[in-house]
Structure 1
């Protein structure tokens, strides 16, 4: 990920480095209020990372609606939602800085009238930070500690906004215990684990290249903070494999696959019994068209973490790539209990599994309710619905969905990705190509 140093700060004010900005971001999103609002975590992370990458001037409401909330860019509904959420974001930021900030380091503003963040650094505190960091680089990792402890002590769990499910008290206790154990072992490791956890919540929509690149940058930063923690490597592996699958350039694809295999290998070496390390390796193998090996690691990861929402999603898309729709349906079953934070893609995975199994009415039901449930919405969502309607004989609706997909995502390579995703499933691949050709 290209991380340019363009920062929206007046020239006469001390300019914080990207590292200090990311520390400030970590402090904010680790606070109790933001932990209870995963979407606002993603909103703030998205606009900050876009700005650090030099794309702050291009941040628009419709981009946030698509990138963060998975909404179609047609109409005003998505942008109205972003405006409402931006007001919530500004309010939570103000409350955080008034109630919990110690006045040190970088302060993040999202001013009214736009979404591009502004970063403020007191020159005095900046010099103090600079002097201290020059002597003790590890001190850069201490800033979020107080807020993380507040989160741990207060017992704030992660909300399942996308599935309207609450985390059980037992799950919250386990998550807190794990975070507390990390904090006792290493503050740097705790920060790296938190960052990786936030990034994995950005995995969906899978086909959004820009979103994947942002997540990759966060995973890479996690490995820089703690090279001995497997989470950053597992996350990097899953994103690199995804980018490889989406790349039409063969040389580029092979390079990304090589990097993905290296990252998944490191994750497994560091933590061979970790569910995420095994699940990421399964996904890497699936995107390389090695279905038997992929399913072995996928099934093992489910055994290791049978309720982890991200693991279940990772296994679900692995099963789709490996032409194992029964496994995909099992792990994405709407009735299955899942835990964790982030943006789950279970509803969409369930819909694709039913498409592969020929249950077209269930496909329509799954994808029709996705936006209302907060599930990711993307070009494939519309395409799979169109195929199901076509198979059911609903020609007008199939045509409408294909036209909407072409209008909203004109650059989406439908035929190419149909061949990549359903490489091992001739029947589903042909049904998609026939629908695209017919309409």
Structure 2
């Protein structure tokens, strides 16, 4: 069973799809109230995406403190902050649905007593536990209880007057749709096959990390290729295929195979750009292909253009981040992976790793340790490169015992991981970082 589809819902109601939930999330975080609070945008995005990934039961205040607010794993200050912020989140959510929601689509709840969201479709399905809280509040205000019926009567009178006034002058109030919703609606109107292809490509691009997992990359490649078969006129399948083929080429030790994969990647990238020259993904994928082929100047041109086209798209930011690392531009990698930067869609764990690597290249070793050390608490995967980068940082800080422990753990858990080979590939334009990694591997 696919855990990613096991969404918390109201009983006896068909589960909303992840796509509908993400549309609802985008509507909320793009509202005026949430635009003024980037941290709450990140808070809500984090808990929703964790739930969609099947990890809702593991959402804890500690993980939110680390992942969203950048707090230390130790101590209770971060968890106290999360509790306060959760109350603000519930209040803003309630205000959004009371004031701006048209009753269509999915509603997101974050009930008191936890952080795991639940989802219901339509205005009448489901309610949060604020009713009981409101009842307690009214119980403590007798005057409010006396005045409330009069106020409700006035509202009914006003509503009735408005009905008669507008009965012969029909007024249609506009509803707000996010860009993503509008794009999906337009695709559906044009062709259901195109919508299916776009959805498949969107699912596959969430599999880009861990980059070094070859089997995962091959699965994603099959999905991208199928998307291109479903709709050969949609650039997404080609852009996704290009980024995966370039990644597999970078990871291949066989020169002939590597050349063949690079040739395929370039062809897919060309098709994506021909179909959609202003698409952020097509440009970002082309930048990544050029970076893996050691063409840093051209790679950075396309990378920067893709950020301008989609400055908050999580996948684009991650794609640009690893492109910048390969091109020897840690400042751009740090900019697009900054924990304070607003992000949407996929690309959360990749951003943490990119931030850590960018800090390694910039020789900010304490930040490297903080970035990778917080990964397990936040639910992020631990990999051989993350242990290796921590070991290098600890070695540079003079913590030799911890560096030795990390190298030992990496070699024990991933005995066949080609550390030296990949260090040469990833940091082909950063001699200092590559040498620091090789020195650490030799020393320990």
Please tell me whether residue 346 in structure 1 is matched to residue 351 in structure 2. Answer: yes
Aligned to 2:105: 154
Please list, as runs of the form range in 1=range in 2, the aligned pairs for 1:43-122 lying within 5 A after superposition: none
C-alpha separation in 2, matches of 1:399 and 1:255: 39
CA distance in 2: counterparts of 1:316 and 1:344, whole angstroms: 12
Specify which of 383, 391, 395 is matched with residue 386 of structure 1. 391
Aligned pair 1:364/2:348, yes or no?
A: no
Contact kept in structure 2, 1:236 and 1:263, CA below 8 Å = yes
Give CA deviations for 1:284-333 in whole Å, capped at 9, x if unaligned.
00000000000000000000000000000000000000000000000000
TM-aligned CA deviation for residue 373 of structure 1 = 2.0
**What is the rounded CA distance, in whole Å, between the counterparts of 2:176 and 2:233 in structure 1?**
25
Task: Tell me how far 1:174 sits from its aligned partner.
Answer: 1.9
From 184, 187, 190, the equivalent of 1:179 is 184
**Within 2, Cα distance between the matches of 1:416 and 1:310?**
26
* Distance of 1:398 and 1:421 partners within structure 2: 21
Indicate how the Cα distance of structure 1 residues 316 and 434 shifts in structure 2: closer, same or farther if over 3 A, else same: same
Deviations 1:242-301 (A, max 9, x none): 000000000000000000000000000000000000000000000000000000000000
> Distance between the aligned counterparts of 1:208 and 1:300, measured in 2?
28
CA contact under 8 A between 1:192 and 1:223: conserved in structure 2? yes
Among 206, 216, 235, the alignment partner of 2:240 is 235
- Stretches of structure 2 that go unaligned for 5 or more consecutive residues are 8-13, 22-47, 56-102, 118-174
1:26 deviation in Å? 12
2:308 to 303, 306, 316: 303
Give the 3 Å change call, closer, same or farther, for CA 195–26 of structure 1 in structure 2. farther
Aligned counterpart in structure 2 of residue 428 of structure 1, from 433, 436, 439: 433
Q: Does 1:417 align with 2:419?
A: no
Superposition TM-score, scaled by structure 2 size? 0.63
* 2:257 counterpart of 1:273: no
Task: Tell me, yes or no, if the aligned pair for 1:333 and 1:350 is still in contact at 8 Å.
Answer: yes
2:401 aligned with 1:396, yes or no? yes
For residues 68-127 of structure 1, the C-alpha deviation after alignment (integer angstroms, 9 at most, x for no partner) is xxxxxxxxxxxxxxxxxxxxxxxxxxxxxxxxxxxxxxxxxxxxxxxxxxxxxxxxxxxx
Please give the alpha-carbon distance, in whole angstroms, between the structure 2 residues aligned to 1:191 and 1:181: 13
Report the secondary structure of 1:373's partner residue: coil
Residues 350, 189 of structure 1: CA spacing in aligned structure 2 closer, same or farther, 3 A cutoff? same
Q: Distance in 1 between matches of 2:355 and 2:236?
A: 26
Query: Structure 1 residues 425, 263: closer, same or farther in 2, change over 3 A?
Result: same
Q: How far did residue 407 of structure 1 move?
A: 1.2
Q: Which residue of 1 is the match for residue 253 of structure 2?
A: 248
Q: Which has the higher contact order (CA 8 A, sep 6+)?
A: 1
Instruction: Give the conservation status (yes or no) of the 8 Å contact 1:309–1:344.
Output: no
Residues 326 and 153 of structure 1: is their aligned pair in 2 closer, same or farther, counting only changes over 3 Å? same
How far 1:28 sits from its partner (Å)?
A: 9.1
Distance across 2 between alignment mates of 1:425 and 1:313: 19
* CA distance in structure 2 between the partners assigned to 1:270 and 1:31 by the alignment: 35
Quick one: distance in 1 between partners of 2:230 and 2:3? 15
User: What is residue 293 of structure 2 aligned with on the other side?
Assistant: 288
Deviation at 1:341, TM superposition (A): 3.2
Q: Distance in 2 between matches of 1:320 and 1:210?
A: 23
Q: How many residues align?
A: 302
**Corresponding residue for residue 200 of structure 2:** 195
- The whole-number CA distance in structure 2 between the counterparts of 1:25 and 1:363 is 32
Deviation (angstroms), 1:34: 4.0
After TM superposition, the score normalised by the length of structure 1 is 0.64
Match of 1:91 in 2: none
In 1, Cα distance between equivalents of 2:390 and 2:209: 18
Task: Tell me, in whole angstroms, the C-alpha distance in 2 between the residues paired with 1:304 and 1:199.
Answer: 21
Asked if structure 1 preserves the Cα contact closer than 8 Å seen for 2:6 and 2:54, the reply is no
Of structures 1 and 2, the larger Rg is shown by 2
